[in-house]
Amino acid sequence: MITWRGQTDAEFGFIQRLKDLGVDAEYEIFDAARDQNRLAGFLRESRDKLKSKDLIYTFGTTATQTVKNFNPDGVPHLFNIVANPVGVGIAASHGSPAFGITGAKMALSPEVNIQLLEQLYPFMRIAVLFDPREDNSVSELDKITAVSEALGKEVLRLRLSPDARTSRLQIDALTPQLKSADVIYVTAASSFIAYFDLLKQILPQDVVSMGSSTAYINEGITLAFGTEYRERGEAAANMAARILQDGVSPNDLPIDEIAANEATLYINTHHQSVPKLRLSRTNNPIVLK
C-alpha cells in the first residue's frame, strides 16, 4: 500500500471492506510524504520485495504514475483517488484499462461537472485554478477549457503553486482575477489539499466556487459533486477482492466511476455564495457541510 500524503479515509475504508469480504490480507505500507524522489528511491530499493506481492495499491495520480513507470514485473496494480486516469496515461480506457492496472476514479469528468454547475448557477466567465507541476491538474484544466469554450464561456487559466516561496505574490496577483469571474473551478491537485489554508485565503467568499474533489468542501469552496473518500476505498476493495480471490486480471476490470446521477452534491453552508445556487434544479442528493 503506497500512499502519497499519509493514510486517508480511502485507505481505512479499503482495509475494512477487504476484511469484511473475507480477505485476510497482510499490508506493507509506505508513505511518499508528497515526495516523488522519496517514492522513486523506495521503489528502486524494494524492487525484489515488490515482485513477491500479490497486489500493489496506490493513492493519487503522482504515486500511481510513478509506480506504473517502474513496472514491478507485472504485479497487479490497483489505484485509488485518481481524477483522470485515462487523461494522464495511467489507463488506456475506462472499460479496458490495460497495462495491468485498474482502480477507482475519484472525480466526475470535467464535462459532467460543468453541466452540473451550469444547472445550479449559469455563468459566462470561469476562472480555473491549477498547479502546473501536477499532470492531473493540467489535464483537467485543458478539458475544462475545451468544454467551457465550446459552450461559449470565457476561461481564465490561473496558475497556483501553494508551496512556493512566492505564495504571497501569487495571492496578490490572482485575487483580482478570481473576483472578476462568475465562477471558480479548482482542479484536483494534491498541493491544494496539503496547503488548504492558502485556498481559504485566495477564494472570494462571494463568488461561487466548485471543487473537482469533495476533499475541498471544507477548504473554502462552495460546492463539489462526488462521494466520500471512504466510499472510494470500499469500491477499490471490491476490485481488489476480485483480483486476490478470483484471480481476475486488472486488465479485465473496468475502472470504477461515480455515476453522474448518483453523485452527491456537497455544499459548504458557511460560504456566502450559497444563496446564489438554484438548488431546486438538481436531482442529485444534497449534503450540507
Res 72: pLDDT: 62
Q: Is the dihedral angle over the CA atoms 134, 135, 138, 143 positive or is it negative?
A: negative
Of 255, 148, 150, 133, the residue nearest 210 (C-alpha): 148
| pLDDT tens per residue, range 69-92 | 987 678 999 999 999 999 899 999
Q: What is the residue extent of each domain of the chain?
A: 2-106+228-252, 110-226+262-288
Across the range 178-188, mean pLDDT stands at 98
Copy the grid coordinates of residue 145. Answer: 477549457
The CB density around residue 38, as the number of other CB atoms within 10 Å, is: 13
Res 74: pLDDT: 83
2-106+228-252 has which fold? Answer: Rossmann fold (3.40.50)
- d(C-alpha 177, C-alpha 127), whole Å: 8
Q: Which residue has the cell 431546486?
A: 280
| pLDDT tens per residue, range 27-71 | 999 999 999 999 999 999 999 999 999 999 999 999 999 999 987
Q: CA 227: distance to chain centroid? A: 11
Res 194: pLDDT: 87
- pLDDT of 158 > 80? The answer is yes
| pLDDT tens per residue, range 104-157 | 999 899 999 999 999 999 999 999 999 999 988 999 999 999 999 999 999 999
Q: 110-226+262-288 belongs to which CATH class?
A: alpha beta
Res 166: pLDDT: 79
Q: What is the pLDDT of the chain when averaged over all its residues?
A: 95
CA distances from 239 to 77, 82, 83 (A): 11, 15, 17
Res 163: pLDDT: 79
- pLDDT of 280 > 80? The answer is yes
- d(C-alpha 202, C-alpha 190), whole Å: 17
SS (H, E, C) the chain: CEECCCCCHHHHHHHHHHHHCCCCCCCCCEECCCCHHHHHHHHHHCHHHHHCCCCEEEECHHHHHHHHHHCCCCCCEEEEEECCCCCCCCCCCCCCCCCCEEEEECCCCHHHHHHHHHHHCCCCEEEEEECCCCHHHHHHHHHHHHHHHHCCCEEEEEECCCCCCCHHHHHHHHHHHHHCCCEEEECCCHHHHHCHHHHHHHCCCCCEEEECCHHHCCCCCCEEEECCHHHHHHHHHHHHHHHHHHCCCHHHCCCECCCCCCCEEEECCCCCCHHHCCHHHCCCCEEEC
Q: Matching CATH topology for 2-106+228-252 and 110-226+262-288? A: yes
User: Which of 198-202, 206-210, 265-269, 273-277 has the least mean pLDDT?
Assistant: 198-202
